[in-house]
Structure formats: C-alpha cells, structure tokens
Amino acid sequence: MAQAAPQQLTIPNFDPDSPACMVKVPQQNAQCTATGCAIAMTKTATATKVQINFSCLPTSAPTGFENPASDMKVYPIKSVNGKGHLSLIDDMASSAGTPMQEVNFCLFGESNNFCGNAKIARTRRAAKSSEAEAIKQFVKQIEFISAGAR
C-alpha cells in the first residue's frame, strides 16, 4: 500500500510580526488542520486517537526546553529537516480522574519554532506507550517548508 503524500500546513505565528510555520506533516492515519492533528492509534493503544495541538513561535521565544522542570523527561528528536526536543510530563492531578501524561515537542527552524502538545493516558511505561511512540514517529516525519532548519 502506498503511503499518503504529506499535507502542507501553515500555522500562524504567535507573534503576528513573525513568519508563520510552514510544514509538511504525515497524512497517513492523521486528520490535520492548522491548529493540530488527530492521529488514529493502533488497536494496542489505550485511546482510539490522540489530538496534537500546534503552535508556531518566534525563534527568540522560550519553548520550555531551555530550562526544563525537574519532572520533565526530555529527549532529543530529529525530523525530516529539523531537530529539537520531545518531553513527557506526568500529570497526576488530571481532572478526568485518569492519570495523564503531557507530551510536548518543538522543532527549531531558522525563522521560527514549530511546537506541539498532546495529553495521553499515563501508563507504567509511558515513554514506550503506543500513544507516545505514535506522536514521536509523527514528529520525525514533519518537514519545514522553504526556510531550512537549524
């Protein structure tokens, strides 16, 4: 089966005077808009889909990875033509009554930073959970359009 062509998205920058983030995201198992993507999960996952919310920040804006909190697990990540960080934060005080985990990422580009976040059910091995792994694989397939990555 052929893999679907990536979808091009333009995410407005948080700073209206800074350039928008122009990226290609994988379309296979994902429904995307400029605000985020809903990714379909495998049958082994706890959830049927996970919503990733996007943001575009100026390169000068803090991303949270400069000085991570002690409870934040940070991993380096590379995408098609960018690099950045992915983090996992346990959210024990979830309003849903289920222990949750927040997944954050930022890919650092030349003219902006493309970031995203999602909440997933927390499991014992959350770093290896189907949901966290699906988000990680999704981020690895993101590609900056026009401006290169640093």
pLDDT digits (tens, 9 = 90+) for 93-120: 656 667 788 999 999 998 899 999 999 8
Task: Assess if residue 71 is contained within a domain.
Answer: no
Task: Assess if residue 76 is contained within a domain.
Answer: no
Residue 134, helix vs strand vs coil: helix
What pTM did the predictor assign?
Answer: 0.85
> For residue 2, what pLDDT is reported?
52
Task: Assess if residue 149 is contained within a domain.
Answer: no
Task: Assess if residue 150 is contained within a domain.
Answer: no
> For residue 1, what pLDDT is reported?
45
- Residue 103 belongs to domain spanning: 7-61+88-144
Any residues with CB less than 8 A from the CB of 79 and at least 6 apart, and which? 107, 139, 140, 141, 142, 143, 144, 149
In the chain (150 residues long), the average pLDDT of successive 10-residue segments reads: 76 94 88 92 72 95 89 93 93 68 93 94 61 91 72
Number of structural domains the chain divides into: 1
